[in-house]
Structure 1
């Protein structure tokens, strides 16, 4: 099983070639990086390279005319700039809607019309979902909105093309904003001064999470139980839900670690996307730790424009629900994702209501500090796990079957092996490791000689190859 060695080697070759070729010719860096990124995306399907190119052109043109009108001093100029931003947002949502949501809404609307006696159906397009479309569309929208808000300057065409197609995070994030990337693109990074030790550590950590942890749990318990919950006992079903919570974290944060590490080797620093989410004591805290770049995107470009918490309490709860429902739809066009977002929205609203009432009445903690924190963690973690059932299941009926199987104490299938239990709960316990320990490990690796670092990387790759199962499934977030 050579996946980690191949993936690591491919990324390293790209980084080496880009840095080696462009040192004597700095002006080649951006065209070469754009070419590698397009090739990387086209390796999956060249058909959608044109879609990515169209998104780049449309959004750069919109940003250009938005910025040009903002240079004027009249009201008409500002109004025109706002219209350009609206045109850009509508264009991006239109592209996303056609490729990701048309079939879902066409089927649901046709069913609704038939239920009231109106015949006829809307056409089903059955397009293949372009990989990464949700990520680069959100990045494109953040750019034109930030240009309209004067938070970022217009980017040069080549800079914008590299920004939107940058291969490390093109297909599954993190969602990097132009304000974070543009200054780094403007100053050509020196390949002689990159934090290589940190980068290699992130890449290896990401490979271990994906190849060993995520793939092991998927093959040993998650896939089998979610495919046939009725054929497993309740404790196995519960363990499978816990295991999926670990699997999706290891899978998605693993990709993020790899993306951030590869970008570091090229001289770019991406924002952090995960921070031990399963140690959160509230759902609000969970969203400050899980997929942080999406959380901030939804906050700054959806929640705040809707009014945030500046209106009445009812308006605030409405805004929370809308944001989480749309966040669920961002992940996929099924009712399961809507319910997943709805669970998070309801609990976030309830948390806010309880917190506001306690503050209004000056109430202190009900339980002793240690016990209270344990209870809050337990409740938060199980709310997240409940929502994961809908996120992972293929349909609403499958979700209901999965939840119903929890009460089944027969049909033990033997999936809850000691190793599965150890990996699941060991990974959850690892979330509580002090950050200082991780910093010491990283610093210790950085202090090693280049020869020792190379040996450590080689041994780590061999260990990942040995420990990982045969065959590795695609990253979960590739489908979004």
Structure 2
């Protein structure tokens, strides 16, 4: 069941109405929401509901045992169970095929059977949520919740399939008391849902069908111009597709009375890769930081260990996205780039300290002052108020003062703006280049795309004005300051409820009229 469909709209209308009707009675509301979430998850394949039920029971039992006995071995067993389920369903085929190919190269038979294991939708997301729950209980930052509360947390349908990755400490306290319908920010929820529909249906799906999929599926049939447009197009597609799901999920949760953490914050406006990962899929970035990078030692064990921890964290982050060497290489490249950025920052800081030290060494030392002649009280007070002469000379001769006098403030601002935009462009194009690995089905296809990007001439019939407009609009949605959206929502909130509903309904009709009768494609992150 996909958000932008008639089936989900009908499902949500019924669930929202009954949810608010039962909200004053938690003993009825919780089983109802849990049943609705299981129905939502099992709509495509009911067998996978048993998987999430098993995950809930295992992790709840482990959390209670950890809280009671404080035994690290129980935590290790829980983590092994969670990663074992994830590994079997998501990585067994990749591992077995990789071993088979490696042994075939040296003439040995394959030791593992090659099985086709169906991948449950959203298994990575609810597994990471379960892991954070048991780890937080072990750390003492959370207490075990009642079984029904934990089951609702893990299966809550707005975030179940593709996030955001909501932590137990963020969600479970909201179950303590019934939600208040008067405190629901309906305007923000409506804007998030409507904006998500636009990004998904009008931008992401259109770019995928008319530009990205044809080029990436058969790169040998397309020119350099089409490949370049498809690379930019995929950068827009994946941002609009994934942020659309997050926006709709957050909006749906708000309409049910719950708040989720934000997942995107204008990532393509970042001036460094470190900033990019603080803005892109923010709930995953924080999860990897708190449950992988920091437990490995973070930046507390020296420079080389910090670099190694970054590489491990980002490579595992790449593997989390998919069972393919393209994802592993994608994560490793981002890890190497983050290491390079950190080394450059260290080198620049060292150079700045050396420049300051050299500037201080060139400042002439003041001569010893002769005894001052008697002076009037008024003259002494005036000079005391102005400050000691040595302080004035030091301030005037300091390296920072010399740099300030080197040019007018406007010149510094212009230079800083140019450097800022150059950094944004560099980060954006690195991210676009690595998205090729993310989208390509294998390394050979990615290599062919990069080769033809610089060598394939010819016409570019896929580079249409509509495709270029979608790319520009998609990039604009990733760059508009948040204050603009807040101001628009505030003005919309001043309109009466009837016109609000009419305007939103008309907007949705226009969206589907523009797109036509094409089916809504599954969200990209469904397979992760």
Q: TM-score, normalised by structure 2?
A: 0.86
Matched, 1:432 2:479: yes
Q: 2:266 touches 2:480 (CA, 8 Å); kept in 1?
A: no
Q: Which residue of 2 aligns with 1:288?
A: 278
Q: Which residue of 2 aligns with 1:38?
A: 38
How do 1:242-321 residues align onto structure 2 when only pairs under 5 Å count? 242-321=232-311
Q: How far off is 1:68 after superposition?
A: 1.3
The counterpart of 2:417, out of the listed 357, 370, 373, is 370
Q: How far off is 1:389 after superposition?
A: 0.1
Q: 1:4 touches 1:207 (CA, 8 Å); kept in 2?
A: no
- Could you tell me which runs of 5 or more consecutive residues in structure 1 were left unpaired when the two chains were aligned: 70-77
Number of aligned residues: 467
Deviation larger for 39-48 or 110-119: 110-119
> 2: CA distance between counterparts of 1:4 and 1:416?
29
Q: 1:229 touches 1:237 (CA, 8 Å); kept in 2?
A: yes
Q: Which residue of 2 aligns with 1:443?
A: 490
**CA 1:445–1:6: 2 relative to 1, 3 Å:** farther
Q: Which residue of 2 aligns with 1:28?
A: 28
> 1: CA distance between counterparts of 2:4 and 2:314?
35
Q: How far off is 1:432 after superposition?
A: 2.3
Q: What per-residue deviation string (whole Å, max 9, x for no partner) do you get for residues 193-239 of structure 1?
A: 31122112111111111111101111111011111222222121111
Matched, 1:472 2:520: yes
How do 1:28-427 residues align onto structure 2 when only pairs under 5 Å count? 28-69=28-69, 78=70, 80=71, 82-362=72-352, 368-427=415-474
**CA 1:5–1:197: 2 relative to 1, 3 Å:** farther
Q: How far off is 1:268 after superposition?
A: 0.5
Q: Which residue of 1 aligns with 2:374?
A: none
Q: What per-residue deviation string (whole Å, max 9, x for no partner) do you get for residues 271-292 of structure 1?
A: 0000011111111111000000
Q: What per-residue deviation string (whole Å, max 9, x for no partner) do you get for residues 165-219 of structure 1?
A: 0000100000000000110011221234311221121111111111111011111
Secondary structure at the counterpart of residue 306 of structure 1: coil
Q: What per-residue deviation string (whole Å, max 9, x for no partner) do you get for residues 119-150 of structure 1?
A: 23311221110000000000000000000001
> 1: CA distance between counterparts of 2:29 and 2:133?
22
Q: What per-residue deviation string (whole Å, max 9, x for no partner) do you get for residues 79-138 of structure 1?
A: x2x211111111100000111111111111222233334323311221110000000000
> 1: CA distance between counterparts of 2:347 and 2:24?
64
Q: How far off is 1:374 after superposition?
A: 1.6
Deviation larger for 153-162 or 400-409: 400-409
* Segments ≥4 residues shifted beyond 6 Å: none
Structure number with larger C-alpha Rg: 2
* CA RMSD in angstroms, aligned pairs only: 1.7
Q: 1:4 touches 1:464 (CA, 8 Å); kept in 2?
A: no
Matched, 1:11 2:1: no
> 2: CA distance between counterparts of 1:123 and 1:151?
42
> 2: CA distance between counterparts of 1:3 and 1:55?
28
